[in-house]
Structure 1
């Protein structure tokens, strides 16, 4: 028989897709796609898929280390950041332990903790869906082995300040790790961005994770990485599966990092279109969260909005699986013409 804690395991609910005729604004993908050079690299690798990749991934790690100004031994890789979370949870959790996260956030943290047989503690949010530093620290107890949450948050886009991160790190024991999930950090405005990575020099138990799925538009090939102390990375390397990153993912990732001009231009367009989309949604009469910094918009609207848009072949994310009440939605900022089609459809509905 399987383990008892798995019997009532909740399903991970992904964004509804629809077929290729739909406008997909439900999964925070970068609908502009990867750069032409990355696409060319992927195509050219089609004849080499019989080969195993370099199991050490030294070249990719060196490139990521240079990008983030750390040592190669501070880099860990995963088949998406979800796999990194899986291994870290495996390393630190048991049936007597807990994770601490925030309420109504990325649901996979909770699922992974349940797989490990650990408990889940959820700190209450602050005003206006913010991440409350006080509530996180007040929720700590001796069973907590992992503190984890995203910044920007998914699905609200709320961000956390450096001083809060340091307060949390100074409030937990050294054998408890703090994972900061930065899947959406590229979309934070320069005036609000701060570099979390330099904290790793002072805190061996601090880990930052980042992904190629959002900014780099490579969600389909599954590639994520973490930046951590060498102490953590050494154990991680011992337990990760061999060849966990495909040849295509590794080469595409290495290429994407150097495509600065392409991705920077796309980023400018996404941020400009997000501002315009937020204004139009507010003018329609929806509640729009202003302090939100992902490639998406967090809104409250009529409960039937998602279904009505689906009838018009546009998919947005209903947030019931995040434990929000009906009427809350997350909308990915798509291509300019997709955003315009969305607004046109909403105007027809309301």
Structure 2
């Protein structure tokens, strides 16, 4: 029997590859997860919602929108939440893109971008990163045509780590037609320490076609509950909410996210510990002879033409390989873990270089 075929566009969609599981969680440095347990109060407030899981979640995600409004000093109608910032991006592209449209991103960048773009039927236009693994905004601007509906700028860039400078992004946005949506993907913004880094919310306040994506999966440590959100013009946020399946964000996840926002001091301390771990990884790997770009995220990037082979050599520490030549974005991404996990990574990296 012949089963019905999906739309032809699905033949061109790459499958998303999750990070490799490790023998135990501490050595899983492949998925940019927070190595610490949930923030104080999060488990208790999330667990309290389990007693009413016979009820549908709040479809309007009202408590989270209200908490984000207080946290970011933005009106509640500028938010749209979903199951992670990637799901919000899927909804955004569903709302604004279709066959014949184009979406411009840097490459290599977040590997979900080509999936999210292609599933809409739009064309994914990629612009190579510069040699220092940063966005080439001039080339991205040149790639914009009258068919371009959305441009995505990932800062810090996943998987390479560098940020886009604020002055460069400001000039870039100002030069684009106001009909083009500019998505500033700030999934790792809490880890940024570069004073010249782009400030997406500042630009969103000035330009109606700019929107910002953020997530609770990284710094806040809620990767398993899947909560992300968009900050944008009320009309854009409303369109994204329409394109988002009802009841996407569970009340358990919503309670955890709100509780995480309330734990600001504890969050700051944990983020700072990750930032210090990042500095030690960068310093240690460079001292061994590895050439790495700067990172402002919770991971570091090792450019390599032999990404999969390098990942195998680093086992039992699980890292994320990206196949291909360095010029095409090949390499290995290493998440910042606990102190002992970081030390183990440095040890296997040194053993690889010395052949021991």
* Alignment TM-score > 0.5, same fold: yes
What CA distance in whole angstroms lies between the structure 2 residues aligned with 1:59 and 1:166?
A: 32
SS of the aligned residue for 1:110 comes to: helix
Instruction: Count the aligned residue pairs.
Output: 347
| 1:141 Cα deviation from its structure 2 partner | 1.1
| 1:326 Cα deviation from its structure 2 partner | 8.9
Equivalent residue for 1:306?
Answer: 311
The 5 Å alignment of 1:49-128 reads 49-128=53-132
Equivalent residue for 1:47?
Answer: 51
SS of the aligned residue for 1:288 comes to: coil
Equivalent residue for 2:344?
Answer: 341
Q: Could you tell me the TM-score, scaled by structure 1's length?
A: 0.93
Distance 1:170 1:87, change over 3 A: same
| 1:62 Cα deviation from its structure 2 partner | 1.2
SS of the aligned residue for 2:132 comes to: helix
The answer for unaligned runs of 5 or more in structure 1 is none
Equivalent residue for 2:143?
Answer: 139
| 1:305 Cα deviation from its structure 2 partner | 2.7
What CA distance in whole angstroms lies between the structure 2 residues aligned with 1:48 and 1:197?
A: 35
The 5 Å alignment of 1:272-283 reads 272-283=276-287
Which piece of structure 1 moves more, 195-204 or 56-65? 195-204
SS of the aligned residue for 1:127 comes to: coil
1:107-149 Cα distance to aligned partner (Å, 9 max, x none): 1111111111111111222231121221111111111111012
For the pair 1:249 / 2:232, whether they are aligned, the reply is: no
What CA distance in whole angstroms lies between the structure 2 residues aligned with 1:260 and 1:137?
A: 37
Equivalent residue for 1:231?
Answer: 235
For the pair 1:23 / 2:27, whether they are aligned, the reply is: yes
Distance 1:241 1:191, change over 3 A: same
For the pair 1:199 / 2:199, whether they are aligned, the reply is: no
Q: Could you tell me the TM-score, scaled by structure 2's length?
A: 0.91
Q: Does the aligned pair in 1 maintain the 2:108–2:329 contact within 8 Å?
A: no
The answer for unaligned runs of 5 or more in structure 2 is none
Equivalent residue for 2:334?
Answer: 331
Equivalent residue for 2:172?
Answer: 168
What CA distance in whole angstroms lies between the structure 1 residues aligned with 2:128 and 2:328?
A: 15
Q: Does the aligned pair in 2 maintain the 1:38–1:252 contact within 8 Å?
A: yes
For the pair 1:297 / 2:304, whether they are aligned, the reply is: no
1:25-56 Cα distance to aligned partner (Å, 9 max, x none): 01100111211311222333332222222222
Equivalent residue for 2:216?
Answer: 212
What CA distance in whole angstroms lies between the structure 1 residues aligned with 2:246 and 2:324?
A: 33
